[in-house]
Amino acid sequence: MQAAEPKRVLVTGATGCVGRYLVDELLRQTAHELVLVVRDPSRLPDLGAARGRVSVVQADVADVADYKDRLGPVDSAFLVAAAWGGPETDPVNLTANLALTDHLAANGGRRVYYFATGSVLDHEHQLLKAAFDLGSPYVRSKYRLVEEIEKRAGAIEVVGLFPTIVVGGGADGMPRSHFANLMYQVKPYFRLVCSLSAEGKLHHVHARDIAAAARHLLDSETADAGRGNRIVLGNPAVTIDQLIAGLRSYFGYRFLPRLKLRDGLAEFFIRTFRIQLSAWDRYCMEHRDMSHRDPTSPATFGLPVHAPDIGAQLASIGIRP
């Protein structure tokens, strides 16, 4: 692909896991100028020689009215900032994203890429009603965001990016994703996990690969690069047993016995260890195929994949055999 004409690109959530990788990707691989809305600029990395291409707007991303006039002209935006729960959930995940989209549409912006979550889509990329009915406040806010922001498509190009299970951060100095933190918590029990067998299907993806795919979309001639206005970000789906096989191979646990984790046994563990499950947790237990058709990764565009499997992903976050 030819080098894209330099753009002025807004990025929210630039100090989080995916946001940091995205900023790094855009500064290394493009000539674009970046506008970063951050609450605490001290959490940004040293920008070095790229400092002249970055404008930092110090503000709470939810207070769009207070900072929108400081953004200046923006061609495209990546709306990455997210609140995972609490009173900020709707103001950040829903209200701010809609307000920023409206502002850009009214002031010459061409494209908005908003981040949602693969949890709100079914296999065919249609909105999953159960996500709204049973999901956490975070999941429900993302569901509503998809509904509302797609109504703006007549005023500005709108493309949704729906990450699946995100791995990243830690060993390379980037903030760790929630799943990476979970892997560190589970690390003492990997041998037990590797002795289990279970039904289910899912996608996982490294945050650096999300950034590479997002950068390609930004620099393509059409906003969605032919992938549609709902793009699920993930490597090809794997079964739970394939994932466990990858763990066994990575840690050298090839000859462990296997125990089938059937519903009754799962319920036994839940009761014994007093695990609290939400209605959404129960739904996910009962609907174990969380795969999506046509997932998108750098490989989709002929680009190298940073971490194509669970072993490479664990190594990337500093978990060694």
What does the pLDDT read at residue 275? 78
Structure confidence at residue 2 as a pLDDT band (50, 70, 90): low
What does the pLDDT read at residue 273? 66
Query: Does 190 share its domain with 100?
Result: no
Whether 36 is in a domain gets the answer yes
Q: If you search the block for the tokens 């991303």, which residue do you land on?
A: 61
Q: How many domains does the chain have?
A: 2
Query: Does 103 share its domain with 216?
Result: yes
What does the pLDDT read at residue 257? 84
pLDDT, one tens digit per residue, over 293-313 is 999 999 999 999 999 999 999
Query: Does 225 share its domain with 271?
Result: no
Q: Which pTM does this prediction carry?
A: 0.95
pLDDT, one tens digit per residue, over 92-144 is 999 999 999 999 999 999 999 999 999 999 999 999 999 999 999 999 999 99
Query: Does 228 share its domain with 194?
Result: no
Coil, strand or helix: which one is 269? helix
CATH classification at residue 99:
3.40.50.720
How many percent of the chain have pLDDT more than 90?
A: 84
Whether 312 is in a domain gets the answer no
pLDDT, one tens digit per residue, over 191-232 is 989 998 989 999 999 999 999 999 999 999 899 999 999 999
pLDDT, one tens digit per residue, over 166-189 is 999 999 999 999 999 999 999 999
- Among 4, 27, 33, which residue's Cα sits nearest to residue 225? 4
| Residue 103, amino acid | H
Query: Does 191 share its domain with 103?
Result: no
What does the pLDDT read at residue 182? 94
What does the pLDDT read at residue 50? 86
pLDDT, one tens digit per residue, over 139-163 is 999 999 999 999 999 999 999 999 9
Q: Where are the beta strands (DSSP E) in the chain?
A: 8-12, 33-38, 54-58, 76-79, 111-115, 157-163, 165-167, 196-197, 201-202, 204-206, 230-233, 238-239, 259-260
What does the pLDDT read at residue 256? 82
pLDDT, one tens digit per residue, over 235-250 is 999 999 999 999 999 9
What does the pLDDT read at residue 98? 99
pLDDT, one tens digit per residue, over 10-32 is 999 999 999 999 999 999 999 99
Whether 184 is in a domain gets the answer yes
C-alpha dihedral sign at 4, 8, 12, 17 = positive
Query: Does 231 share its domain with 242?
Result: no
| Residue 112, amino acid | V
Query: Does 137 share its domain with 281?
Result: no
CA distances from 286 to 107, 196, 281, 289, 290 (A): 46, 18, 9, 9, 11
| Distance from C-alpha of 250 to C-alpha of 42, rounded to nearest angstrom | 37
Query: Does 265 share its domain with 251?
Result: yes
Range of the domain at 245: 179-200+238-286
pLDDT, one tens digit per residue, over 250-297 is 999 977 888 887 777 677 767 776 778 899 989 998 999 999 999 999
Whether 84 is in a domain gets the answer yes
* Helix 17-29 × helix 207-219 angle, to 10°: 50
Query: Does 220 share its domain with 275?
Result: no
Average pLDDT, the chain: 95
